[in-house]
């Protein structure tokens, strides 16, 4: 079991260190190798995704990824910005299936900005297509407009597109996932306006014929954004394209009140995967020892389950995380009165202790 550890920027190194600590406490044999990525890699070698890092990622069974990005790189040319590392890894490894669970932990219900009764027991799964859509469609760029409202002026453009096999494979991932849950898929589109998403809807409907045991409904993305804050528990699995999934998954994460708790997995067709917390690099708190490592620790659990064939070890980690929450331990992002505030390292130590 070879794991590439890519800590990245901001709080990335602190939180991945805790997840590595937890992995090492499981009593399993892993081969782990660490490499720079994002702004850290740019500083070290002039590129956010150096060839050596990419090769390591390709050769591993799984990648544990911290976070990338810092405002100080915002003025760099786009190909050199830290975000290109994650986009480059997704593309190079074909990580088309992105799992973003939004689970509201019992002890953290009051941390949500929604009323407790709306989110208590929330457990939804957003499956975001991750290698297509307007994120990667060509052509894109800047040019002089030849038509539109202002011909002769400068304009910028991107291309939204999905091929049939791209939609089919992500739809299958969603139906299979729903089979192991509450057997309901909501496909989110914008079929009322966009050709790409009328096609998306048609193809998902066709694939659904192979999954008669799973219920399918379709929802426009604007309505989905609204339903997520109105009645989030009505969803089970949401499947959608790359851009809508980017937006809706941030919205869903906030329902749980604790983006510091949410793991994610990005898989290819060989079950090779990249595992990362759903939150970003939080440069404002980097190095202070206050970041919440639980999303990264839970990402390591997803890694054990999806890419390394170790479901029992994954269960052990998830049980340990619930135990430390039950003990009342909280990093500042999830702290509330009556609980015990701890730092990044103490939280990691507590999970290790709860494993035993």
- Fill in the per-residue mask, 237 to 276: x = in contact with ligand IPM (CB under 6 A), - = not in contact: ---------x------------------------------
Q: Do 45 and 38 touch, CB atoms closer than 8 A?
A: no
Residue closer to ligand IPM, measured from CB, 87 or 323: 87
Number of residues engaging Mg ion in binding (CB under 5 A): 1
Known catalytic membership, residue 74: no
Q: Which of the choices Mg ion, ligand IPM, none does residue 346 contact, using the CB cut-off of 5 to 8 A by kind?
A: none
What does DSSP say about strands 97-103 and 263-267: parallel, antiparallel, or unpaired? antiparallel
According to the annotation, is 246 in a ligand binding site?
Answer: yes
23 HSE (CA, 13 A, CB side): 30
Residue 246 interacting with Mg ion (CB under 5 A): yes
Q: Which residues contact 278 (CB under 8 A, 6 or more apart)?
A: 100, 249, 253, 259, 262, 263, 264, 295
Known catalytic membership, residue 341: no
Q: Strand (E) positions, the chain?
A: 2-8, 31-34, 62-67, 97-103, 123-129, 141-144, 154-157, 184-189, 215-220, 237-240, 263-267, 273-277, 329-330, 340-341
According to the annotation, is 210 in a ligand binding site?
Answer: no
Q: Classify 139 as helix, strand or coil.
A: coil
Tokens linked to 183: 């057997």
According to the annotation, is 283 in a ligand binding site?
Answer: yes
According to the annotation, is 281 in a ligand binding site?
Answer: yes
According to the annotation, is 61 in a ligand binding site?
Answer: no
Known catalytic membership, residue 246: yes
- In angstroms, give the least distance from the CB of 287 to ligand IPM: 21
Q: Which of the choices Mg ion, ligand IPM, none does residue 87 contact, using the CB cut-off of 5 to 8 A by kind?
A: ligand IPM
Residue closer to Mg ion, measured from CB, 123 or 246: 246
- In angstroms, give the least distance from the CB of 233 to ligand IPM: 23
Cis bond upstream, residue 139 (ω within 30)? yes
Look at the alpha carbons of 301, 303, 305, 309 in this order and tell me if their dihedral is positive or negative: negative
Please state, as a whole number, how many other Cβ atoms lie within 10 Å of the Cβ of residue 102: 26
Q: Which of the choices ligand IPM, Mg ion, none does residue 155 contact, using the CB cut-off of 5 to 8 A by kind?
A: none
Helical packing angle, 242-255 and 221-230, nearest 10°:
10
Q: Classify 215 as helix, strand or coil.
A: strand
Known catalytic membership, residue 222: yes
Closest CA to 88 of 134, 135, 44, 45: 135
- In angstroms, give the least distance from the CB of 68 to ligand IPM: 7
d(CA 336, CA 267): 35
According to the annotation, is 90 in a ligand binding site?
Answer: yes
From the list 21, 30, 83, 158, which residue makes contact with ligand IPM (rule: CB under 6 A)?
Answer: 83
Active site residue: 42, 73, 135, 211, which one?
Answer: 135
From the list 32, 87, 118, 323, which residue makes contact with ligand IPM (rule: CB under 6 A)?
Answer: 87
- In angstroms, give the least distance from the CB of 12 to Mg ion: 16
Which one of 80-88, 211-219, 230-238, 296-304 is the stretch in contact with ligand IPM (CB under 6 A)? 80-88
Known catalytic membership, residue 29: no
**104 sits in which H/E element:** none
- In angstroms, give the least distance from the CB of 55 to Mg ion: 26
Catalytic residues: 135, 190, 222, 246, 250
Query: Residues annotated in the binding site for Mg(2+), as ranges?
Result: 222, 246, 250
Binding site for ligand IPM (CB under 6 A): 83, 86-87, 246
């Amino acid at each position: 079991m070879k794991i590439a550890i890519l800590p990245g920027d901001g709080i990335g190194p602190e939180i991945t260190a805790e997840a590595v600590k937890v992995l090492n406490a499981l009593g399993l044999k892993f081969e782990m190798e660490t490499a720079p990525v994002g702004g850290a890699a740019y500083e070290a070698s002039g590129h956010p995704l150096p060839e050596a890092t990419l090769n390591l990622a390709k050769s591993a069974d799984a990648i544990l990824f911290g976070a990338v990005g810092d405002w100080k790189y915002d003025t760099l040319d786009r190909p050199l910005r830290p975000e290109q590392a994650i986009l480059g890894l997704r593309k190079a490894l074909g990580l088309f299936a992105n799992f973003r669970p939004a689970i509201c932990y019992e002890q953290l219900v009051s941390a949500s900005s929604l009323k407790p009764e709306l989110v208590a027991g929330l457990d939804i799964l957003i499956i975001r297509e991750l290698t297509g859509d307007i994120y990667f469609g060509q052509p894109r760029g800047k040019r002089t407009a030849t038509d539109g409202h202002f011909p002769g002026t400068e304009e910028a453009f991107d291309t939204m597109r999905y091929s049939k096999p791209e939609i089919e494979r992500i739809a299958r991932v969603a139906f299979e996932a729903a089979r192991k849950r509450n057997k309901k898929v909501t496909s989110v589109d914008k079929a009322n306006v966009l050709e790409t998403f009328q096609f998306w809807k048609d193809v998902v409907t066709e694939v659904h014929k192979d999954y008669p045991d799973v219920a399918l409904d379709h929802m426009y993305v604007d309505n989905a954004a609204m339903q997520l804050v109105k009645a989030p528990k009505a969803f089970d699995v949401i499947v959608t394209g790359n851009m809508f999934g980017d937006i809706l998954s941030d919205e869903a994460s906030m329902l749980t009140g604790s983006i510091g708790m949410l793991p994610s997995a990005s898989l290819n067709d060989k079950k090779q995967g990249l595992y990362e917390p759903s939150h970003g690099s939080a440069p404002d708190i980097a190095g202070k020892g206050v970041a919440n490592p639980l999303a990264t620790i839970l990402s390591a659990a997803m890694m054990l389950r999806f890419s390394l064939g170790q479901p029992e070890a994954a269960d052990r980690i998830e049980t340990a995380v619930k135990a430390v929450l039950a003990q009342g331990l909280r990093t500042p992002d999830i702290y509330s009165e009556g609980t015990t505030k701890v730092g990044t390292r103490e939280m990691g130590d507590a999970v290790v202790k709860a494993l035993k």
